[in-house]
Amino acid sequence: MLKKILVLDDNMDILEVVHEVLTYEHFEVNSTSDSKNIVTVAENYRPDLIILDYKLMDDNGGEICRRIKSHHQLHKTPVIIFSAYTNKTDFYSFGCDAVIAKPFDLTELIDTVNSCLQLSL
């Protein structure tokens, strides 16, 4: 069975690239730009990994990560935050498992995803 990944980013170009790359790497991917119901989407989709953009137009990926990590069903799900602002924020304080700096290398994305999935076994 394919590993399931939920991706949240409000930049449609990035969302499309990440979706295509992860699908090509044989993951089942659910991509969304809507942060308002992301916890409910995660509850229903039950991903093996969640990737969140940090700076969203209507929300904050760090705070979403905090909600996920305190959720009774989702707290063990690895979360990767990606952001262009990696030198300004301590992302690990939100409880994420990894951080990817934007712009990112696709090999780095795949390596980080695989590492987080291995650690969650």
DSSP for 30-82? EEES--TTHHHHHHHH--SEEEEESB-SSSBHHHHHHHHHTSTTTTTS-EEEE
Rounded percentage of the chain residues whose pLDDT exceeds 70? 100
Query: CATH number of the domain that 25 lies in?
Result: 3.40.50.2300
Q: How many structural domains are present in the chain? A: 1
**Which domain does 34 fall in, by range?**
4-119
Give me the mean pLDDT over the 100-109 stretch.
94
pLDDT digits (tens, 9 = 90+) for 44-97: 999 999 999 999 988 999 999 999 999 999 999 999 999 987 777 899 999 999
Q: What's the mean pLDDT when you consider all of the chain?
A: 94
pLDDT at residue 1, as a whole number? 85
pTM of the model: 0.95
